[in-house]
Structure 1
Amino acid sequence: MLAAALGAAGVAATGCSSSGGGSGGSRRLRVGYFAFPSGDLLVKNRKLLEKALPDRTVSWVKFDSGASVNQAFIGGSLDIAALGSSPFARGISGSSPIPYKVAFVLDVAGENEALVARRATGVTDVAGLKGRTVATPFASTSHYSLLAALEHAGLTASDVKLIDLQPQPILAAWQRGDIDAAYVWLPTLDELRHDGTQLTSSKEIGSRGRPTLDLAVVSDALIADDPRTIATWRSVEAEGLRLLASDPDGSARSIADELGISLADAKAQLSQGVFLTPKTIASADWLGTEGSPGRLADYLADTGAFLADQKQIPAAPSRETVRKALYLKGLPDGVA
């Protein structure tokens, strides 16, 4: 499994620097991202990180899901990346945790991740999926939320036929009629909604005590080699969030440009996300501050416990393990 993961990481990070081991020797900063409407995508589009770090060569590497991000970190091919809360909980579990830490919260999943059934199936609620074929990217936040939705409806994973597909293959399988339902995120999600029925969303599931988030993680190597770069990156991500709030039209234009969609679609997709303010991210309700971890640690520990109960991981990471996997140095000043 490790050999396969290393191979996948090498493919995912094509074009990234491999010299010097960590980022300190090469002066190249390797940043993993998702093509998903967020402040992070705004930072990429406007080259805010490149402007803030002129001494760095920033390489943006696109990923389809958190499982691939984890593989890239295992291979030492990333310095910073967007990563869902569920794959992060997986990554820090077990005897050989992935060497990275959470340093920022990009967004909280809302209506931008959801479970949709093909309208032709006649399924109108989650319980109606029993015996049906349901696709989701395994080891993702959508996978986690799907399991939570099934549990709430009185079903188990074995009551449906679960298929592991990435977003674009999900859309192709949907159009062929190969699957009955899918749990996935934007922009693929909006495509499914055209002829599908939404059964639940991550916003609804989160309100029942199982929130999912898009986090940003940094490698232990970067933390050791160059904490100043992390502080600068964090301040730039905070600026991205401020721009989403202060300049919604301009932000939507940048997102539309990145995703190749209309301005109207970009605005609609951004409206479905839950974006925290930088100050809130460093509050006790979320990431917390240096020496005082916030409730995010509890959310992540609960996520790990749920995944262990669902037999998705051998054992849940302890709360102490989770707390140690938060990089809080410089907070709250770094995002104030």
Structure 2
Amino acid sequence: MKKIVGYLVMAVLAIVILVGCGNDSSGDAKTAAKKSADKEIKIGVSAFPGWYTWYAVEGFKQFEKNDVDVELVWFNTYSDSLQAFNSGQIDGVCAALSDTISPALKGVDFKVVLVNDNSSGADGIVAQSSITSLEGLKGKTVATEIGTIEHFFLLNALETAGLKESDIKLTNMTVENAGPAVISGKVDAASLWEPSLSYAASDGDTNLLFDSSKTPGLIPDTLMVSGDLLKNRSNDVQKIVNAYFDGMEDYVEKPDEALAFMAKQADISTEEMATAMAGARLFSIKDNYEAFNTKAEDYSYLPYTAEKTADFLLKQKMVSTELSDPASIFDSTYIDKLYKESPDKNVPDTKKQ
């Protein structure tokens, strides 16, 4: 009888311990969930004028004013930011629309929720002064960062001149290295974005052959966010979108201060930043709303742009499969809500800076 009672006592104690452990586990799970909800949201940014605007948003403290904890993570090399996003190391990333196609085809869970700008001269091809036309690039050494928007832009530019990639000697370099390479004469030409573009076009015996003002709407610059962030912290995504446009209103009212925040990150003068920004057409809330929602058979409509971009990438064998549903890349929820509440918020006219 004593043994039986002993066994019963031990069993009861075991149940109590197990229940206690179960409660601790539940508590740990809740704590982990809360920590995840409170975790700083990391957004990858790299050197392109339309994306430096995020540093104006940060400088004007609009993340804090909108009650969202955001860290802007700087990447010297653009492709590194894409890899960090695709591997889940950061929650959002500034990306050209062309660079959303490959992740979509590979099943990366994300959506484009915001368009910062359209490149309107902020991307371009600079060549040695002896080369005076795109046709003159045939057989020449041209540097760019392979697999990125500049590679895509270069291929489009070549196509307008009846050339293809095999007609040039393509050299893989980051934009930061390609600019000095064309200035020094190590390469015949380079496909660049600002601020490297302005330096390369003015600092050497070079000339600007072609820029993105000749391909309007081809290069929308966007904010991609992860599916996990959309699912678990949708309210914070809305706050980020709100903060961005609040920051743009500050930019309109205090352009010198905004440019100073941006120039500090770029390590250039405010005057140089203003020059770089002249090639970016910043999108207002209304511009965003129309780009997401107003169907058109031209580059003003994001799904159309995605479809044509994907077709071009497939043709160039930069991707291996067709994009069956271009609209699936986009989520207009956050822009739609903001448009209904504040349709008239303004953005700077960068051409007048």
The two structures have a TM-score, normalised by structure 1, of: 0.83
Percent of pairs with identical residues: 25
| Superposition map of 1:186-335 within 5 A | 186-194=194-202, 195=204, 196-206=206-216, 211-283=218-290, 286-288=291-293, 295-318=301-324, 320=325, 322-335=326-339
1:156 maps to which of 151, 155, 164: 164
Which digits, 9 at most, give the CA deviation of each residue in 1:181-216, with x for residues without a partner? 11111111111011221111112023xxx6111110
Aligned counterpart in structure 1 of residue 67 of structure 2, from 53, 65, 79: 53
Note the C-alpha offset of 1:26.
Answer: 5.6
What letter matches 2:207 in structure 1? Answer: T
Q: Work out whether 1:173 is the aligned partner of 2:181.
A: yes
Q: Which amino acid aligns with 1:247?
A: K
Contact 1:136–1:184 (CA<8 Å) still a contact in 2?
A: yes
Q: Distance in 2 between matches of 1:245 and 1:177?
A: 40
Q: Which residue of 1 aligns with 2:17?
A: none
- Give 1:42 shift: 1.6
CA shift for structure 1 position 302: 0.7
Q: Distance in 2 between matches of 1:114 and 1:172?
A: 15
Q: Which residue of 1 is the match for residue 139 of structure 2?
A: 131
Instruction: State whether residues 241 and 278 of structure 1, in contact with CA within 8 Å, keep that contact through their aligned partners in structure 2.
Output: no
* Cα 1:265–1:21 shift into 2, 3 Å: farther
**Cα deviations by residue, 1:57-92 (Å, 9 ceiling, x for unpaired):** x32211245532331122211111100111112221
Equivalent residue, structure 2, for 1:78: 90
- Tell whether 2:120 aligns with 1:115: no
**CA 125–244 in structure 1, closer or farther in 2 if over 3 Å, else same:** farther
What is aligned with 2:16? none
The aligned counterpart of 2:56 is 42
Show the counterpart of 1:3: none
Residues of 2 paired with 1:232 and 1:30: CA distance?
Answer: 14
The verdict on how the C-alpha distance between 1:264 and 1:84 changes in structure 2, with shifts beyond 3 A counting, is: same
Cα offset, 1:244, TM superposition? 3.6
1:88 alignment partner AA: T
- 1:42 and 1:240 in contact (8 A); partners too: yes
| Unaligned segments of structure 2, at least 5 residues | 1-30, 295-299, 343-353
- In structure 1, the residue corresponding to 2:215 is in which secondary structure? helix
**Paired residue for 1:67?**
79
Aligned residue in 2 for 1:9: none
Rounded to whole Å, the distance in 2 between the matches of 1:213 and 1:23 is 34
Q: Which residue of 1 aligns with 2:6?
A: none
8 Å CA contact 1:186, 1:269 repeated in 2: yes
Q: Judging changes above 3 Å, is the alpha-carbon distance between structure 1 residues 235 and 25 closer, same or farther for their aligned structure 2 residues?
A: closer
Distance 1:305 1:221 in 2: 28
CA distance change for structure 1 residues 236 and 315 in 2, over 3 Å: closer, same or farther? same
The answer to whether the 8 Å contact 1:66/1:84 transfers is: no
Opposite residue 49 of structure 1, the aligned amino acid is: F
Cα distance change, pair 22–129 in 1 and its aligned pair in 2 (3 A): farther
CA–CA distance in 2 between the matches of 1:117 and 1:20? 54
Residues 188 and 27 of structure 1, relative CA distance in 2, 3 Å threshold: same
Q: Structure 2: how far apart are the matches of 1:115 and 1:240?
A: 31
The range that moved more, 159-168 or 221-230, is 159-168
Question: Aligned AA for 1:245?
Answer: V
Where does residue 89 of structure 1 map in the other structure? Answer: 101
CA contact under 8 A between 2:91 and 2:229: conserved in structure 1?
Answer: yes
Superposition TM-score, scaled by structure 2 size: 0.79
Cα distance in 1, alignment partners of residues 55 and 327 from structure 2: 27
Structure 1: gaps of 5 or more residues: 1-18
Distance 2:314 2:252 in 1: 37
| Structure 1 residues 32 and 241, CA gap change in structure 2 (3 angstroms) | same
- Structure 2 equivalent of residue 11 of structure 1: none
How far did residue 40 of structure 1 move?
A: 2.2
1:127 is displaced (CA, Å) by 0.5
* 1:102 aligns with one of 112, 117, 121: 112
Note closer, same or farther for the CA distance 1:260–1:69 as it changes in structure 2 (3 Å cut). closer
Query: What secondary structure is seen at the aligned counterpart in 1 of 2:207?
Result: strand
Deviations 1:5-37 (Å, cap 9, x if unpaired)?
A: xxxxxxxxxxxxxx9699835612111112333
